[in-house]
Amino acid sequence: MSRNGGAAALAEHDAERMAMALYEARSNRVPIAPFTDACPTLDAAGGYAVQRRLTELLIADGERVIGYKAGLTSASMQEMFGVHAPDYGPVFASTVRADGASFARGEFISPKVEAEIVFRLARPLTGPGVTVEQAHAAIGEVIAGLEIVDSRITDWRIRLGDTIADLASNGAAVLGRSIPASAELDYRRVRMAFRRNGELVASGQGADALGDPVAVVALLANLLGESGVTLEAGQLIMTGALHAVVPLSPGDTYTAEFDHLGSVTLHVTNT
């Protein structure tokens, strides 16, 4: 997949127009039609061109990038949305909350929730060429995470270019307590049980994220490195869902329980 070729194919004024449409949809919480309806040639590279411009607009508003999220890293998620490759987007400081946080359903358009393993880097990673071993050595902390994904695209009718442009469908995140990274712990084998109001609704393990959540860190470092971006020490890396996403409903409580990492919970209010 040629990211540079797609970016060149998408005219600068089109990237600006799409970014502004997403910016307004995020502000107004009113979804828009998929870009790929009118522009079926919008590929991953074009989507990233839009994403970069949208990120610039949000930073100008005071947002701060504190890490990156990988999306569509599990087979179940790729099958659900009819795509065949992972994507990524920035994590903004304003969207991350602590364990037990409450969200109003009205903060989002069409939210869904997923459980995932989150890493915090202790040292920077600059791709391309980052190996899984190098990524493992750069991880300082491991965190149980819940991510709320939300789409500014009507009814989640996304193709890969749409969701990439839409910041990889980011919404918010809730993080549990951090624990030190361990060279002995195989994150592929970390099991997870996901519950809604105490009822088990999904399960998974670290290997459901691209075969190895640490491999997701290396992938992100290498993809971002193509654009001259370094993963910095202290940044969060969200490695992707370990199960098919679950709709976020008012009045519900969602908890993910991980081996070794502990649990993390979020609540949804009716307002």
Residues spanned by the domain of 238: 64-269
Domain count, the chain: 1
Residue 21: φ, ψ to 5°: -65, -40
5-63 per-position pLDDT tens digit: 444 468 899 999 999 999 999 999 999 999 999 999 999 999 999 999 999 999 999 99
Classify residue 129 as left (phi > 0), alpha (psi -120 to 50) or beta: left
> What local confidence, expressed as pLDDT, does residue 18 receive?
98
> What local confidence, expressed as pLDDT, does residue 9 receive?
67
Q: Looking at residue 156, which CATH number applies to its domain?
A: 3.90.850.10
| Per-residue tokens: 250 | 């008012």
> What local confidence, expressed as pLDDT, does residue 185 receive?
94
In a domain, 107, yes or no: yes
In a domain, 230, yes or no: yes
> What local confidence, expressed as pLDDT, does residue 4 receive?
42
The total of other beta-carbon atoms located within 10 Å of residue 163's CB is 27
Q: How far apart are CA 35 and CA 21, in angstroms?
A: 10
The residue among 23, 89, 114, 123 whose CA lies nearest residue 227 is: 89
> What local confidence, expressed as pLDDT, does residue 84 receive?
66
CA distances, 64 to each of 75, 93, 197, 239 (Å)? 31, 6, 33, 20
Whether 75 shows a pLDDT value over 90: the answer reads no
In a domain, 7, yes or no: no
153-194 per-position pLDDT tens digit: 999 999 989 999 999 999 999 999 999 999 999 999 999 999
In a domain, 76, yes or no: yes
In a domain, 4, yes or no: no
Report the percent of the chain where pLDDT is more than 90: 86
91-150 per-position pLDDT tens digit: 999 999 999 999 999 999 999 999 999 999 999 999 999 999 999 999 999 999 999 999
